[in-house]
Structure formats: structure tokens, C-alpha cells
Amino acid sequence: MNLDNLITTINTVHQTFQAKALQSVSVNLTLRNFVIGYYIVEYEQNGGDKAAYGIRLIENLAQKLAHIKGMSVTALKLMRQFYLTYPQIGQSLTDQFKIDIEISQSVIDQSSSALKVPAEKLLRSCSFTHFIELVKIDDELKRTFYEVETIKGNWSVRELKRQIASLLYERVGLSIDKKALLQSLENKTEVFNPTAIIKEPYILEFTGLEPKQTYSETDLETALLNHIEAFLLELGTGFCFEARQKRISIENEHDRIDLVFYHRILKCHVLVDLKVRAFSHADVGQMNFYLNYYKNEISMQGDNPPIGIILCTEKNNIKVEYATAGLDKNLFVSKYQIMLPSTKELEALVKDDLKELAAENISEK
């Protein structure tokens, strides 16, 4: 064995064991969510105090389990649906949980079908994020079709979503030469990369790691956000810091808001989104999505509509947009104009920061 062979061998060993480790984490996350789903259904059916808590069970659970990352209302509903949709996953549990989940075996027997893909094959090829897409499919035959194709093609989650959206199942059904259509996909599909799983929010939450955006955030963005956050807090006009890189998850799609404040005088949330590039009209649509989400899901009774601030920069070209849709109360608008920094102040802040950072970069060289 020469040195090149040794390096190749070590690389192969590393990649093999890394893939196994990541798969183990993925499988355990999936099994955990299955077991939690079982216990939720079991409580709904046989809970001793379900009359008191059953009506808003999921909401109550999310509140009581807030100390565990990933136990949101949406996530708990997904776990419940996952258990009901995939009872065969129970066959892969250890003896410890099989004792507790004897009832699940009866569920498996009642819903047994020759069409069901064995649990081991599903767990080997599908992360929980795959399952989130699959449980959305009500038709069992259609869902099985996508399970089989995902396993055969080793599809990534993005590829699975793309094929579902392109109506592959329906197109295969309408095609005369069905095999030819499926074979034509082989060299065009995105293959699942085991290392990509470490960036999945569900995996990060399960392992206790912070789901930070450090995979794509630049040092420049981080520095600018630090200055913007400090600037708004130092204004002393009511800004209360709430979150940074606030994640919004809807139907297995994740977005992040750079900075979130609550303004105690205006009684509303202030959302700040930074783009280290030129302003785009798409930025307004994205901010409008954030504002509607906060208005419908986060704002409490008595809160005013949230406010969005978009900061865009490309070199020294700054454009600031205030997304203030829905601010139709004159009194509130006048308060808003007094309490928030002007666009000129924010433009000056970003310009000064860019100059300062550029100067630091030059001095370091």
C-alpha cells in the first residue's frame, strides 16, 4: 500500500462510518416521532383526563413541552399523522417500546396490505422530512408509488417534492410505456446525499444542536445584523429583542427572519430582513408572507399589525423598504412615524457599517 492508497482508504472509511452515523440519527428521530404519535393517539382514545384536555390537546402539549426543541403544534400534529399513516414502522421498534405499543400491532393487522413497503426499507431510505411529504398523500396506492420510487432512485426530499408536484404518478398512469417514462428519470433526478441531513432543522433539533444559518450566512451579514440589532435597542424608544434567525416552518418548508423585535409602545412586532445585494421586488413578497404569518399565528389580542423593515445593500447602494400594509389607523401610523427610525437613519447606519467593515478588512491585510 502506498501513500495515495492509504489516503483513499481513510477517506472511504470516514465516509462509510459517517453515512452510517447519520442514518442512525435519522432512523432514531423517525422512530421517536412515531412513538410520540402513538402516545398522542393512545391518550385521545383512552386518556383518563382527556375530557379536560382533549379539545386542545396538541396546543396544551406544545405549551408544556416548549423546553424540548421541535415540539411545536405543527410538529406534534405531524407525529400523530405519521403514526396513523405508517403503523408498520412499529415493527422496527426495540423490545422496550414494543411492550408499551402492543396496541399498535392491532392497528398494523387491521390496516395490513400487500402494498405496504416494509418498515426497514422505508427507514433505510427515507428521513422524517421525506415522511412529512408522503403523509400528505391520502391515496394509499399513490403514496406507495412514491415510496417505491424514492427508494429505487434514492431521491432527496427536494426531488420527491418535485416529482409529486410534477404529477409523476398521474403521468405514469396515463402513459402507454410506463417503464420508459420511469427510466427516463434515472439520470435526471437529484440523489439523496446522507451528509445533507445534518442541515435539516429536524435533525438539528433532535440532536440538541442550534439550527443556525451558519451554513449560508456570510461574515458580512453577521456583522451588519449585530450592528442593526444594537442600533435599534440603543434607540430606547421601546424596542424589545425577541429573536434572531427566527424560523418559520409551514408544510416542511422553512424560512428565517433575520431579526424580530417587539415594540412595547407601538404594541406590535417589528421584523427586520437583511439582503446583502440589490433590492428585488420579491423581497416585498417575502416580507409580506412574514407579516401575514405573524399577524395570524403570533400576534396576541390587542396587538397592532406587525411592521416589516427590509434592508438591502450592494456595495454602497442602500435601499430601505418599510412594509406597512394594514396600518390603517391614523393614530397608530403617527406613533409609528415617531417611534421608528427614519429610512435615512437606517441607510446611514448600513453605509457607515459597510465603510467600517471595509476599512477593517484592509487593515487586516
In a domain, 18, yes or no: yes
> Does 226 share its domain with 183?
no
Q: Which domain holds residue 327?
A: 219-364
List, for the chain, all residue ranges whose pLDDT scores fall below the cut of 50: 99, 103-104, 106-108, 110, 112, 212-217, 328
Amino acid at 310: I
| DSSP states of 62-79 | HHHTTTSTT--HHHHHHH
> Does 52 share its domain with 115?
yes
In a domain, 192, yes or no: yes
> Does 90 share its domain with 126?
yes
In a domain, 207, yes or no: no
> Does 7 share its domain with 73?
yes
Tally of domains in the chain: 2
In a domain, 44, yes or no: yes
In a domain, 212, yes or no: no
> Does 237 share its domain with 177?
no
In a domain, 333, yes or no: yes
254 vs 248: CA distance, rounded Å? 6
Torsion-angle region of residue 112: left (phi > 0), alpha (psi -120 to 50) or beta?
beta
Pick from 156, 172, 201: which residue ends a domain? 201
> Does 247 share its domain with 177?
no
- The CATH number given to whatever domain includes residue 262 is 3.90.1570
> Does 190 share its domain with 253?
no
> Does 248 share its domain with 341?
yes
CA distances from 225 to 125, 127, 142, 239, 337 (A): 39, 33, 46, 15, 23
In a domain, 209, yes or no: no
Strands (E) located in 133-267: 239-250, 253-263
69 vs 201: CA distance, rounded Å? 10
> Does 187 share its domain with 223?
no
For 216-269, how does the pLDDT look when each residue is reduced to its tens digit (9 = 90+)?
Answer: 345 667 777 888 888 888 877 789 999 998 988 887 778 899 999 999 988 999
* Model pLDDT, residue 274: 87
* Model pLDDT, residue 217: 41
> Does 283 share its domain with 156?
no
In a domain, 346, yes or no: yes
* Model pLDDT, residue 319: 79
Global pTM reads: 0.59
> Does 259 share its domain with 344?
yes
> Does 197 share its domain with 229?
no
